[in-house]
Structure 1
Amino acid sequence: MPHLVTVAHGTRTPEGNQVAAELTAAAAAQLGWPATTSYVELCSPLFADVVATTAGPTVVVPLLLSTGYHLRKDLPAAVDAAEQPDLVSLGGSLGPDPLLALAQADRLREAGATPGQPVVLIAAGSSDPLATADLEGAANLLAHAWGAPVRLATMSGLGTRPEHVVRHGDAVSPYLLATGHFHRKARHDALAAGASVVADVIGPHRFVVDLVCQRATSMQVAERFSA
């Protein structure tokens, strides 16, 4: 039986780190696998420490929404440094994915957004152009799931800041799994720019749990065929 390891970014906000733990526990229960939650930084256990002493087949599902430095550099380096790196299957970013878009649409409705209301997807952002392509894909998927136009804003790195994208009366969907610095900033900047509704973070939504399970099982199947 594989061991599921999830890896989130990590935050100094305890409630934000708890989201990763809840997602992991729910996915483990659904899969029937043992599981461990880990973090890139700012919270323990660190991914590098968890994967260092891998003792059996391990499936790593990053709880990161887009491509970036951590996925392309930090996580592969940690796997390469493990005692048995050949036992570790490392997945890609969680997004963009239609299940994430459906979860965002649910959060918008829960916050009081109305059908047809224009939406701004606000992401943390990255300096990696590949991440920008991921975020544009996420905005397109949300537009399809929501049935209305969705514009993209980022709070750092490449892209346009919320104050230049959000218009009076818009609804805002934070493209964030968990609360923390970027969530607080997204909410503040969106409301200051005139947003009428700001949805909650995606959080441990049932669709995200399903997505983690899908990624884990598809990686397990791929590993069997490559063995």
Structure 2
Amino acid sequence: MNTGNLILAVHGTRDPHGTAVARSLALDVAELVRQPARLAFADVRTPTVGQVAARTPGPLVVVPAFLASGYHVRTDIPHQLARAGRADAVVTPALGGHPALLDTAVRRLDDAGYRTGDAVVLACVGTSDPGAGAELRRAAADLSRRLGTRVEVAFIATGGPTVTERVAQLRERGHRRVAVASWLLAPGLFHDRLAHAGADAVADPLCPAPAIARAVVDRYRRAVVGQPA
């Protein structure tokens, strides 16, 4: 039963592959909830979250497919909804804190050739939001516990150190091998930069993966009925 129209809000990318992955995620989510999952973009591409919300009647649940609750989740998406006259929409927490994402990150790292004993960097887009920064550090701490080794946070677009700088620092400390775990949802410019960071292993983005679609559905169902998927 449809108890709320689902909008899947993603950042947006000019990379066609990244956009295709986002559309595939929306289709996978729609199949799981047996109703449309309307894809909307917070930035770069259209339709925007506000545009999709304005033309979608009835109750709305917006699931932000972001890995931390930075500017887009805390400010931009709510403002877009308000300007569209849909301040009544429910916005769920960002995906980043969902355990399925950590599980997927570990699998991606293993698939990339991670070896026990490797130094590990968690590559994040970056943020100037202190709360989002704390969430990214928690993700690195969670990954540290899963791998049994310290995981260093590094950034691609905002903040520092950069992934390249962090890899170099680890080399200087005597680590022979460095692996990069990708805290990115989809391929695109940001992930492409990781290939030039000097690491021995670079994990793929988290999507496509069935676990990520299930995480979106879990966020949605908790919002509409208060129960996990």
Q: TM-score, normalised by structure 1?
A: 0.89
Is residue 164 from structure 1 mapped to residue 172 from structure 2 by the alignment?
no
Is residue 215 from structure 1 mapped to residue 219 from structure 2 by the alignment?
yes
The alpha carbon displacement at 1:63 in A equals 0.7
Residues 128-167 of structure 1: pairs in structure 2 closer than 5 A:
128-166=129-167, 167=170
Aligned position for 2:206: 202
Aligned position for 2:84: 82
Aligned position for 1:109: 110
Alignment partner for residue 184 of structure 2, among 132, 151, 176? 176
SS in 2 for 1:115: coil
Q: Which amino acid aligns with 1:73?
A: T
Query: Could you report, residue by residue, the CA deviation over 1:13-51 in whole angstroms, capped at 9, with x for unpaired residues?
Result: 011112211111111111212211111122222111101
Query: Could you report, residue by residue, the CA deviation over 1:181-200 in whole angstroms, capped at 9, with x for unpaired residues?
Result: 21112221x22xxx110111
Aligned position for 2:64: 62
Tell me how far apart the structure 2 counterparts of residues 116 and 21 of structure 1 sit (CA, whole Å): 37
Structure 1 pair 171–5 and aligned structure 2 pair: CA distance change class (3 A) = same
SS in 2 for 1:119: strand
Q: Which amino acid aligns with 2:81?
A: V
The alpha carbon displacement at 1:12 in A equals 0.6
The alpha carbon displacement at 1:222 in A equals 4.5
| Structure 1, unpaired ranges of 5+ | none
Is residue 35 from structure 1 mapped to residue 37 from structure 2 by the alignment?
yes
| Structure 2, unpaired ranges of 5+ | 172-176
Moved over 4 A (4+): none
Q: Which amino acid aligns with 1:172?
A: V
Aligned position for 1:9: 11
The alpha carbon displacement at 1:92 in A equals 2.3
SS in 2 for 1:23: helix
CA contact (8 A) 1:128 1:158 kept: no
Q: Give RMSD over aligned pairs.
A: 1.7
Aligned position for 1:95: 96
Aligned position for 1:71: 73
CA contact (8 A) 2:122 2:154 kept: yes
SS in 1 for 2:116: coil
Q: TM-score, normalised by structure 2?
A: 0.89
Of stretches 130-139 and 156-165 in structure 1, the one that deviates more from structure 2 is 156-165
Aligned position for 1:185: 193
The alpha carbon displacement at 1:159 in A equals 3.4
Tell me how far apart the structure 2 counterparts of residues 76 and 138 of structure 1 sit (CA, whole Å): 24
The alpha carbon displacement at 1:84 in A equals 4.3
CA contact (8 A) 2:78 2:87 kept: no
CA contact (8 A) 2:123 2:180 kept: yes
